[in-house]
Amino acid sequence: MSILANKETRVLISGGPAGVNAAKRMAEFCHLSRLPYNVSAFVFPPDAGKTIEVPFGSELVSVPVFKSVADATKEFPEINASLIYIGPNRAYAGTMEALAEPNIKLVSMITEGVPEKDAKKLRIEAERLGKTFNGPSSIGIISAGESRLGVIGGSFDNLVLCRLHRQGSFGVITKSGGLSNEIMWICSQFADGITTAIGIGGDTYPGSDFATYLEMFEKDPQTKAVVMVGEMGGDLEELAAAWYAKAPRRIKLIAVVSGYCQEQLPKGMKFGHAGAKEGLHGEGSARSKAEALRSAGAIVPATFGGLGPAIKQTYEDILASGDIKPIDEEALAPRHLPKPIESAIKDGDVFAEPLVKSTICDDRGEEPLYSGYPASELINKGYQIPHVIGLLWDKRLVSPVEAEIIKRIVILSADHGPCVSGALVTIIAACAGIQMAQAVAAGMIMIGPRFGGAVTGAGKWFSHAVKNNMTVDEFLAYMKENVGPVPGIGHRVKSVRNPDKRVKELISYVKSTGIPTPHLDFALAVEEKTTAKKDTLILNVDGTMAAVLVDLSFPVESLNGFFILSRTIGLIGHWIDQNRQGSRLVRLFRYLANYTTGKRREVPPLES
C-alpha cells in the first residue's frame, strides 16, 4: 500500500526536455520494480503528433506527444495523474488544463519560480475539485515498488541502494528534493525503507502540505511512521503539529526543522527556498516549529544528524511491537538495469561481432592513428601529405623519392581549366546556387572512362602486360580482342605534334630519379606503336600516372584516387571562384543545341 501514487497510476507529462528526462527516470523505476510503464503520453505542442522513444529495460517504448491534455486523455482515458514540467510563465495554464480533466486526480508540478498567486489559485481550484495539487518546485512523488512520479529517487544505483523496488514502513514528506532522497537513504539504512515519499516543494504556499499528507498516511495501513523535514518560515509545520495533536494517531511522527541559523544571521536574508523565511514579526522560527511538533508528541531530534538514530529506534520499536516483520530481501530482489552495450563491452560482459573492419585508421584514442602513427607525431616530425596518402592508401611510409613523385602528380592534375567536363559541371552547379559539397560532387561524378577515370584501368592492363611478359604487339592484340581501346592511351586535343606538357614533365622527372620503371617503359613503347597509327593516340596523363604509380607499387584499386584527390582541389577552386564572382545561372544557348524533334503537330483525342 501507499498513498497518492500506486500501481494503477498512469501519467501524462506536460512539458519538453525536462519532462522527457523524468519519463526516462520513471521507466528505470518501473523496470526495477517489474512494473508496466506508467507514462502514457506527453503534452508538448511543438512536438505534437510525434512520439518519444524511452528506454525501458532492454527495449524502447514509444510515447506519443499531444497538443493538449484533452487530446491525450481522449486517446488514453486511463491517465489519472499529471506532471507539470512547464516554464513558470505557462505553468499555471498548463496545470489548470490538467485539473480540468475529470480522470486526472493528481497534478504534481516541478516548475520553480511560479508566482505565489498562481500557486494559491491552483491549490484552491484543486480543493474545489477534490483533487490533489502537489508543488510547485516539487521533486516528485515515489511509492516504493509501485510508482514513481518525477525524478525523485535520483539515479538507478540510488533506487537500488534505497530499496525503492519494494515497500517499507516509513512515509516521507519534505520540502527539499535533495533531502527527500537523503531521508529515503536513511530509512533504508536504519529501517526497512519507505512506503511513499513526497516532495512538497519549498515555496511559501505549496499546493498540498504536511497535514494533508499526514492524514493520507494515517489511513494507509502499510505506513507505520512518517518522517517530516521542515524548515523555518510559514506555518505548515505548525499545522502538521496541530493535526498530530488533534486526535490519537496511529502513525508515529519523526520531524526535524531547519533554520536555527536565522537566530544568528541577518533578518530578512534569503535562503535557497522561497518559503524559507521567517515572518516580518519573527513568525515561523525553527525553534517555535520544533517546539510545536515536540509538544504535539512528535519525535524531534535536535539536529539533522539525530534523524538516523531516531528512525532506527522507531523501527526497532515497531518491530518489537510485532506490527511488522523484517523484510526478506532475497525474496524481493530488485531487477537490474540492462547496461548500455558500450559499458557492457567495456566491462567484458558481452562480445559483439563487429560490423566493419578498418585496417588503416584507429580513432579510439585521443587522436587518430594512421596505420599506427599518431597524426600529431607525423606533423611534428616533418612528414607531408604524400606520406599520409601512402599510409592511408597503401599502409606504408613512402620513400622521399616516392613522396616527391606523388606531390608532382597531385600538382600536375589539380586542375585543367573550366572547360573539362568535371569543372564545367561544378561551375554550372555553382551558378545554380548549389552548395559546395554537392557542386564538387557533381563535378566528380564526371570522372569516368572518358575523363580522368582511366588511371585504374590503365594501371590494371599495363601491370597485366608486364606481369605476363607480353610484347607490345601481343598486348595490343589482346586488348583489341578482349577489352577494347587501351585505357590511358589517346587524347581529345593533345597529339604527337601538340604534346601534353604535364606528361613530358612527369616522365622526365621519374626517369631522372633512377628508380626502376618497367611499367612506364612498357607504356611508352605502347605509345610508340599507337601514335604511328594515329597522331592523337598518345600516352595521356591518366596512362602516365598509372604506369608511374604501378612502378611505385601502389595497389591498382587506389590509382583513380590520385586523380580524384588532385582534381578535387581544382573543383573546389572553381566553386569558390564562381561564388566570389556572384555568377548568375547559366543555361545552354539554343544555337548550341541541335533540335531534331520534328514539326509541330496536333495532339490526337485521348482514347478512353
Q: Which residues of this chain interact with other proteins, rule CB under 8 A? A: 21, 25, 88-89, 112-117, 120-121, 124, 139, 151-155, 158, 161, 174-182, 185-186, 202, 204-205, 229, 231-232, 235, 256, 258-261, 263-274, 276-277, 280, 286, 302-305, 307-308
- Smallest separation, CB 231 to other proteins (Å): 6
Annotated catalytic residue 273 = yes
Per the CB < 8 A criterion, the answer to whether 40 and 76 are in contact is yes
Of 273, 491, 519, 574, catalytic = 273
Write the CB contacts of 537 (distance below 8 Å, at least 6 apart in sequence). Answer: 489, 490, 527, 530, 531
The Cβ of residue 190 has, within 10 Å, a number of other Cβ atoms equal to: 18
Kindly tell me which of 64 and 115 has the beta carbon lying closer to other proteins.
115
What is the DSSP track for 478-502? Answer: HHHHHT-SPTTB--SS--SSS--HH
C-alpha count within 13 angstroms, C-beta hemisphere, residue 6: 8
Kindly tell me which of 278 and 527 has the beta carbon lying closer to other proteins.
278
C-alpha cell at 334: 530488485
Kindly tell me which of 263 and 349 has the beta carbon lying closer to other proteins.
263
Strands 140-143 and 147-150: antiparallel
- Smallest separation, CB 42 to other proteins (Å): 18
Q: Which of 519, 556, 525, 569 is nearest to 412 (CA)?
A: 569
Looking at residue 461, its amino acid is W
- Smallest separation, CB 23 to other proteins (Å): 13
Q: Which of 530, 566, 528, 531 is nearest to 545 (CA)?
A: 566
Rounded to a whole number of angstroms, the distance between the first and last alpha carbons of the chain is 74
Q: Which of 201, 232, 71 is nearest to 136 (CA)?
A: 201
- Smallest separation, CB 175 to other proteins (Å): 6
- Smallest separation, CB 115 to other proteins (Å): 4
- Smallest separation, CB 246 to other proteins (Å): 18
C-alpha count within 13 angstroms, C-beta hemisphere, residue 426: 31
Kindly tell me which of 342 and 353 has the beta carbon lying closer to other proteins.
342
CA-CA distances (angstroms) from residue 243 to 283, 335, 464, 510?
19, 39, 98, 100
Planar angle of CA 376, 380, 384, nearest 5 degrees: 85
Task: Give the distance, in angstroms, between the CA of residue 485 and the centroid of all CA atoms in the same chain.
Answer: 53
Kindly tell me which of 155 and 438 has the beta carbon lying closer to other proteins.
155
Task: List the catalytic residues.
Answer: 273
